[in-house]
Amino acid sequence: MKNFLIGVFLTGIIIFSQNTASAAEQAETTTQTTQKSSTEKVEIVPSEASYTLAIIPTFDQSGMEEKERTVAQHAIKNAFEQKYPKKTTKVKILNAKTVVDALHRHPFENYDAPVLAELVAIGEDLKADRVIYLSLAPTKSEEDGFRIIIGTQTYASEVSMKMKCVDVKNKSYLFNQLVVKEGSSSAVSFWKFGGASKSRSIKKAVTACMEEFLTNIE
């Protein structure tokens, strides 16, 4: 009887070990697939086109704190600079104040959801060939990890952006989508030093949105 119980116990250990190994292999495969998908890089290529562009100031209804909002605005600015390098671009970007003045002359009924005709009106007023409108929707951020003395920490942020680019002459959209991207930041921290950054996760998510947008227009 004793030998029988020992045999059953050993058999259980072998089955458990096989199942654990199988589960680990599946988890590793899933992780690799996710990482491969998340590391696909879309690069912004400088525009070689020649046109006049009006960029409407980004409408921010994200609810982010001041630090994260500043980081998001810098990410947007950097993406535009990649698309339209000051020293080489043939695209004429209109002065921000000039664009704001046109907005005062042609206010949107709903600033968070301007329609095509409203964007065309801005472009026609400014004699622009294209008009770009961006807005930041409320973001979602999550923190994960543990820390006693040494630990790990991860921030994951989901950013949604309404992104529109209008061809003024043809009165049509070149791009009109709600783009949703996720960014994350992970780090190992010691006591109160180090750690992941919510700002970095926001920056990555906004940058990914801008890449999606600017790689789909000339």
CATH number for position 153: 3.30.160
Bridge partners (DSSP) listed for residue 167: 130, 172
* Domain-located, residue 107: yes
Q: Residue length, the chain? A: 218
* Domain-located, residue 21: no
pLDDT tens-place string over residues 86-131: 999 999 999 999 999 999 999 999 999 999 999 999 999 999 999 9
71-107 per-residue burial string, b: 16 or more CB within 10 A, e: under 16: bbeebbeebbebbbeeeebebebbeeeebeebbeebe
Query: Whole-structure pTM over 0.75, yes or no?
Result: no
Domain count, the chain: 1
Side chain identity at residue 104, one-letter code = H
171 touches 40 (CB < 8 A): no
| CA gap 197, 202 in Å, rounded | 9
* Domain-located, residue 196: yes
For tokens 């770009």, name the residue: 132
* Domain-located, residue 194: yes
| CA gap 15, 120 in Å, rounded | 68
pLDDT tens-place string over residues 199-213: 888 999 999 999 999
Domain span holding position 102: 43-214
| Token pair recorded at residue 101 | 């003045």
In the prediction, which pLDDT does 136 show?
Answer: 94
* Domain-located, residue 30: no
In the prediction, which pLDDT does 39 show?
Answer: 46
